[in-house]
Structure 1
Amino acid sequence: MQGNVITTIIALLFYLTSGLFGVNSGSSSKNSALPPETSIFYPRSGVIASDVATIRSESSSSSSTVGSATKGSRLIILGEKNGLYQVQTHSGITGWVAKWMVTAQAPAAGTVSKGRTIAGYYVENYYNDPVGYSALSANLGTINTVMPFSFNIDQYGTIHSTHNPKPVRLARSAGAVTLAVVNNIKGDNFNSSVASKLLSSPTYRSKAVSGISRMLQQNGFQGVNIDFENVPARSRNDLTAFFRELAAELRPKGLLVTASLPAKTSNDRSSSHGGAYDYQAIAPYLDQAMIMTYDEHYAGGAPGPVASYPWVDKVIRYTLNYFQPSKVVLGLAAYGYNWSMSSGKAQNYKAIQNLIKQYSVAPKWHPTYKVPYFTYKSWGIKHQVWYENASSTAAKMQLVRNYGLKGVAVWRLGYEDPAIWNVIRQSLY
């Protein structure tokens, strides 16, 4: 079965990419489809099974020692040779360990019915906005978790709602799980001050936890997704306390505790991006961690991929130091950025396709980043566009399978290349 799935994915990749990029036998490598992988076996997750495992410099039991790992330590398996695994540890040591000392987790070939999460963030720009609803309606056979982005919390722990029950009813009619997304947006942005004041007060935290519990039960949600962004690094311990208190309230009621977490590649406690999120401390309190593996490059920065393959791989490796693969849901961007002069703006897949037609450009494929991009000129000003499509999604789905992750969460429904759902379905069934 796994071989058939792999064959289908490769065939689908060739079809999708050749259709979009006009690939033929004479195309250059930068404008070609994803090359077929020789193996999807590595990288994968593993756990030290022996009391102490010696890590060696070469794939030989007689080579020099570069470190060790104790029983239960999680690591990433990069390959195998001569009866040893090449591994990378939590501390960054890369070397070789005898295979019998490691319990390797097989890449999950499973199906949605076996517990995989295929989630979509449901956002409305205005009440009854049809964009997300149309995407949800068309793909409910694939999407099994719907996350309405319609609740925000203020600094005093009061929940405010723009909740539209229509998409939730549709999701439930198909048996999908619904998770209410609670954010710290004030005005148009995630608000640092709101997060700081809320989290620093045990009284306001308690009010927030009670309010979330009540809101979930009143609206029939199966759980919550906490999406607090721009949280000050100084709020690190307070944020951990919030997740601990939230889990203590919701889990006895059978409600799921999930969170949208910033993509991290190191434990930088001072980072304004992710310093407040102590992965190790909050992991026990989360049933699922939706890792926001997008905005590697963003509107206010230099042009580049929204989520390059090497960067996403690095984020996953860091995350698996603290979370079991069965808890990790990989965030998938459904959009791109169009940069001109010194700034950029987000655009959905449909808008980007309109640009391609309007300016008669031929998108290129970056063989390392595994994403499409193109440039064009408008009124003499050069534009650079990097975006996500079915082919770039297929590359990331390979990582989901290899690492045995829980699933994926698409930001946001209605912005995507419609073909991604076939890729996701083929990858996880």
Structure 2
Amino acid sequence: MEGTRVTFVVVKAGETLDDLAARYGCTAEELRRLNPGMQGFAQGDVVKVMTRAWDPREPKAGQQFVLGFHAGPMGVSLPGSQNSFHQHAGLLSAIAPYWFDLNLGAAGQIKSRVTPATIRTLIGDAHGRGVKVLASLHNTEKRPGASRTQVLHSAITANRAILIRNILHTVEEYGFDGVNLDFERLKPGDTANYTSFVRELAARLHEQGKLLVVCVLGDAHHQPFSMDFDYPGLATSVDYLGIMTYDEHKANQGTPGPVASIPWVERTVRLAIDTGVPSRKILLGIAAYGYDWTDNRPGARALSFEAVQRLRRQHNATAQFHPSYRVPHFDYTDGRGELHHVWYEDARSLSLKLDLVRRFHLGGILHWRLGLEDPASWGPIRAKLSPIQK
């Protein structure tokens, strides 16, 4: 296969087939094909593996960019970000507060969820800690009778100049260090329009020395709305392309499963690089939360790591680490006798995803979101991503 090479490795003590596949960025099935007749192996055995060859034209990773999304509390199960931000500011390059939406009622206009005083206070706080702040713009506002995809279409086509002017005004008014775009619903046929809009915005921001990060949905299965985005086209203009490798199993669907299994995340990263995105421009999306699914019912409840642990202790459940998905999970039965399936992320699963950042020489991570994570996650971030870009 183009872009890969075959080599021989020595099996470590206690290493399983899945461990070996994860270590060298291939699959267990590929290992079996490369080593016909292999039933198992022991420490010291020599095994043939396939790895992705390094392209010397790509710059190797130096400092890592760590972008943390910042939001207020969303109930007991989803605490706010401020405490985590204060505790771990030294390991953050920037934060992207969840503040701004496209205004569904006014073409090209931006709507803020918070007061100007709140914005200025957090920016001053972050700058005092050596952390940049990006104005994060979303299209998540909902309003009866208003189509989010149509509003975005209008904003990036007929009202593009108005939207760019409003974004630049917001950056200048508050002293933001750049912009994060997180538009997750493109109207069919708007791929090129969005890429062109981003190109124009990037040029204007870069004239002022500001950063531009664009988030895209990541999905190795090509489900809507993921590869509707022109990954390589966007990457040519932006400072970083944030690939949101979550949710593999979506909360509004009925099938329980991991938020982001290692094989799924890796396939998405490989797909992006194979389509022409420079690896150094990729920020790998890291989920910090979990979902509680009720058996045979659609939908799931989002939980922080701490809420997951409270639930596990409450029901005396035993967590397991899935051998191929490489994420933790457990089941429990509630007071009504209904079976639940809980899939989540912890420090171990995050650490394995950071190995992908290192293996593929990615630019860093984006973290959704501060305050939901396993507190122990910051150990692997410090160990595997330092030095942090400031």
Coarse TM-score class (shorter-chain normalised):
0.7 to 0.9
Asked if structure 2 preserves the Cα contact closer than 8 Å seen for 1:233 and 1:274, the reply is no
Residue 395 of structure 1: which of 352, 358, 362 is its match?
352
The answer for the alignment partner of 1:284 in structure 2 is 236
Give the residue type in structure 2 aligned to 1:305: P
What is the CA-CA distance between 1:200 and the residue it aligns to?
A: 3.3
- The secondary structure found in structure 2 opposite 1:273 is coil
1:103 aligns with 2:56: yes
The answer for the alignment partner of 1:318 in structure 2 is 271
CA 1:368–1:39 in 2, change beyond 3 Å: closer, same or farther?
closer
Asked if structure 2 preserves the Cα contact closer than 8 Å seen for 1:339 and 1:383, the reply is yes
The answer for the alignment partner of 1:124 in structure 2 is 72
1:228 aligns with 2:179: no
C-alpha distance in structure 2 between counterparts of 1:41 and 1:416, whole Å: 24
1:334 aligns with 2:313: no
Asked if structure 1 preserves the Cα contact closer than 8 Å seen for 2:290 and 2:343, the reply is yes
1:162 aligns with 2:113: yes
What is the CA-CA distance between 1:40 and the residue it aligns to?
A: 8.4
The answer for the alignment partner of 2:38 in structure 1 is none
1:210 aligns with 2:165: yes
C-alpha distance in structure 1 between counterparts of 2:329 and 2:57, whole Å: 36
C-alpha distance in structure 1 between counterparts of 2:63 and 2:56, whole Å: 22
C-alpha distance in structure 2 between counterparts of 1:194 and 1:261, whole Å: 18
1:166-198 per-residue CA deviation (whole Å, 9 max, x = no partner) reads 332222111112111011122389932322232
1:42-68 per-residue CA deviation (whole Å, 9 max, x = no partner) reads 449xxxxxxxxxxxxx99xxxxxxxxx
Asked if structure 1 preserves the Cα contact closer than 8 Å seen for 2:101 and 2:138, the reply is yes
What is the CA-CA distance between 1:326 and the residue it aligns to?
A: 1.4
Aligned positions of 1:16-415 closer than 5 A:
42-43=24-25, 103=56, 108=61, 114-125=62-73, 131-154=80-103, 156-163=107-114, 164-165=118-119, 166-187=121-142, 191-201=148-158, 204-265=159-220, 272-301=224-253, 302-321=255-274, 322-340=276-294, 341-342=296-297, 343-378=299-334, 379-415=336-372
- The secondary structure found in structure 1 opposite 2:202 is helix
What is the CA-CA distance between 1:265 and the residue it aligns to?
A: 2.8
1:62-103 per-residue CA deviation (whole Å, 9 max, x = no partner) reads xxxxxxxxxxxxxxxxxx98xxx9577xxxxxxxxxx8x963
What is the CA-CA distance between 1:300 and the residue it aligns to?
A: 1.6
1:428 aligns with 2:355: no
The answer for the alignment partner of 1:73 in structure 2 is none
Asked if structure 2 preserves the Cα contact closer than 8 Å seen for 1:361 and 1:376, the reply is yes
What is the CA-CA distance between 1:282 and the residue it aligns to?
A: 1.7
C-alpha distance in structure 2 between counterparts of 1:140 and 1:123, whole Å: 15
CA 1:35–1:118 in 2, change beyond 3 Å: closer, same or farther?
farther
Give the residue type in structure 1 aligned to 2:228: A
Asked if structure 2 preserves the Cα contact closer than 8 Å seen for 1:137 and 1:170, the reply is no
C-alpha distance in structure 1 between counterparts of 2:322 and 2:103, whole Å: 42
What residue ranges of structure 2 are gaps of 5+ in the alignment?
Answer: 1-13, 27-32, 35-46
**What is the aligned length?**
339
Asked if structure 2 preserves the Cα contact closer than 8 Å seen for 1:306 and 1:387, the reply is yes
Percent identity reads: 31
What residue ranges of structure 1 are gaps of 5+ in the alignment?
Answer: 1-28, 45-57, 60-79, 89-98, 109-113
Taking structure 1 as the reference length, the TM-score comes to: 0.72
Taking structure 2 as the reference length, the TM-score comes to: 0.79
The answer for the alignment partner of 1:52 in structure 2 is none
What is the CA-CA distance between 1:231 and the residue it aligns to?
A: 1.5
C-alpha distance in structure 2 between counterparts of 1:247 and 1:212, whole Å: 11
Give the residue type in structure 2 aligned to 1:146: I
CA 1:161–1:197 in 2, change beyond 3 Å: closer, same or farther?
same
CA RMSD in angstroms, aligned pairs only: 3.1
